[in-house]
Amino acid sequence: MTSAVTTLEFELQPADGQRLASLCGPFDDNIKQLERRLGVEINYHNEDFTLIGAQRLINAAAQILTDLYVDTQPVRGQGLADITPEMVHLAIEGSQVLDQASQSDEHYQYRNEVSIKTKRGLIKPRSPSQANYVTDIINHDITFGIGPAGTGKTYLAVAAAVDALERQQVRRILLTRPAVEAGEKLGFLPGDLSQKVDPYLRPLYDALFEMLGFEEVEKLIERNVIEVAPLAYMRGRTLNDAFIILDESQNTTVEQMKMFLTRIGFNSRAVITGDITQIDLPRNAKSGLRHAIEVLHGVEGLSFDFFHAEDVVRHPVVARIVRAYEAFDSQQQPQTTSAQKAPLLQQDVSTPTNNETPS
């Protein structure tokens, strides 16, 4: 049954032409995005808005516009804040209005249950899975965040690390990932050691710059309060009073994962993120993340959070791409015959020291 079309009128206060222009975007692109995604009509004159559509959708649109207008207020020392299409997309996803299964009050509670405060503002989870993830990071010594790209695993982990540092719960942040090429042979990389590993660690730098600013991050790196290093540099160290993030952990070997987990010292917290569908290791190498899921499941002090396509907070097409790959993989699995599985079973029997179930 089609929902009745209603009209909602409201105004944004305080009136400010520059903030309104930032909210609407160039050529009203932000307004058009809201109209297209929510299926509503938005008309405005100065700060007066008129929304036309289904009651539930126009209420959501009004709340999104109000929240984004608050975000336009000038940040001290940085001037007026611009509302980007990415921010509009995240606001729509965070409202959960497009998910019919999430309309009950209990599904909305997560939005106010947990949040992460940084100098650049308040970071709130965009889905129940993200809320559970943040809660587990706060309450557990070691947290695994596992799922497809774009679900906020690394971003939220870095935000939690920055928050812990600013609250003086830890003395330093350590960010690491294995230096494994994504199916490509990059060959010789010029420069010193730092310049060689920087391309692998760029996503971690980007998250830090967004939350703390470029100059502040550079100062903290110079003082060794923030350390960004390849995983190989963790061997032999004991990391106390630190917030440690291992990114792209699907590309660790079993030995590397064990080595990393045993580096964690007193008053330290660790977050391990990865996507087991994007392993770039050689075919004969076992993923340390896959192995850890099997071996460590149920160990006290550890938590495992699994993300899915509906948790993707990037462009909407990314979620559809993830679902398409998942559907294709599920169709391919039944086609594996018992004859194809036999060599794997034989290999497992011949190597009894290997605890990993063949995948």
The string of pLDDT tens digits covering residues 61-74 is: 999 999 899 888 87
pLDDT of 143 higher than 90: yes
132 and 224 within one domain:
yes
Domain end (from 106, 135, 168): 106
Q: For residue 87, give the CATH number of its domain.
A: 3.30.1370.10
Q: What is the spatial distance between Cα 100 and Cα 115, in angstroms, rounded to a whole number? A: 24
Residue 354 included in any domain: no
Q: What is the spatial distance between Cα 173 and Cα 159, in angstroms, rounded to a whole number? A: 11
Q: For residue 154, give the CATH number of its domain.
A: 3.40.50.300
158 and 36 within one domain:
no
279 and 132 within one domain:
yes
Task: Give 346's pLDDT tier (boundaries 50, 70, 90).
Answer: very low
194 and 88 within one domain:
no
193 and 67 within one domain:
no
Residue 334 included in any domain: no
Tokens of 283: 């075919």
More confident call, 140 vs 236: 140
130 and 95 within one domain:
no
β-bridge mates for residue 270, sequence order: 142, 244
* Residue-wise pLDDT tens digits, 156-214: 999 999 988 988 889 999 998 887 654 444 455 565 555 666 676 777 888 888 888 88
Q: Identify which of 188, 192, 274 has the alpha carbon closest to the alpha carbon of residue 231.
A: 274
The whole-chain average pLDDT of the chain stands at: 79
Q: How many domains does the chain have?
A: 2
Q: Which helix (H) or strand (E) holds 274?
A: strand 269-274
Tell the residue number behind the tokens 């036999």, with chain if given.
342
253 and 167 within one domain:
yes
Rg (CA), the chain: 23
Q: What is the spatial distance between Cα 228 and Cα 198, in angstroms, rounded to a whole number? A: 9
Handedness of CA 36, 37, 43, 45 (dihedral sign): negative
Burial 274-290 (b: 16+ CB within 10 A, else e): bbbeebeeeeeebbbbb
164 and 98 within one domain:
no
More confident call, 110 vs 176: 176
Domain end (from 51, 76, 106): 106
19, 20, 53, 182 from 47: Cα distances, Å: 10, 7, 20, 49
Residue 136 included in any domain: yes
245 and 137 within one domain:
yes
Residue 269 DSSP class:
E
Helices (H), the chain: 17-24, 29-38, 55-71, 85-95, 105-108, 110-113, 128-139, 153-166, 193-212, 214-222, 254-261, 288-296, 316-332, 338-350
Q: Is 154 exposed, middle or buried (0-12, 13-18, 19+ CB in 10 A)?
A: buried
Residue 346 included in any domain: no
* Residue-wise pLDDT tens digits, 212-223: 888 899 999 999
* Residue-wise pLDDT tens digits, 225-236: 998 888 887 877
Residue 349 included in any domain: no
300's CB contacts (< 8 A; 6+ apart) are: none
Please, are residues 197 and 243 in contact by the beta-carbon 8 Å criterion?
no
152 and 10 within one domain:
no
Q: What is the spatial distance between Cα 181 and Cα 251, in angstroms, rounded to a whole number? A: 9
Residue 68 included in any domain: yes
Domain end (from 106, 134, 150): 106
Residue 179 included in any domain: yes
275 and 247 within one domain:
yes
pLDDT on residue 260: 92
End-to-end Cα, the chain, rounded Å: 46
Q: What is the spatial distance between Cα 182 and Cα 281, in angstroms, rounded to a whole number? A: 9
Segments forming the whole domain that contains residue 259: 126-329
Tokens of 6: 């209603």
61 and 136 within one domain:
no
Q: Identify which of 126, 119, 180, 179 has the alpha carbon closest to the alpha carbon of residue 153.
A: 126
Q: Is 238 exposed, middle or buried (0-12, 13-18, 19+ CB in 10 A)?
A: exposed
pLDDT on residue 238: 79
DSSP 3-state of 146: strand
Residue 111 included in any domain: no
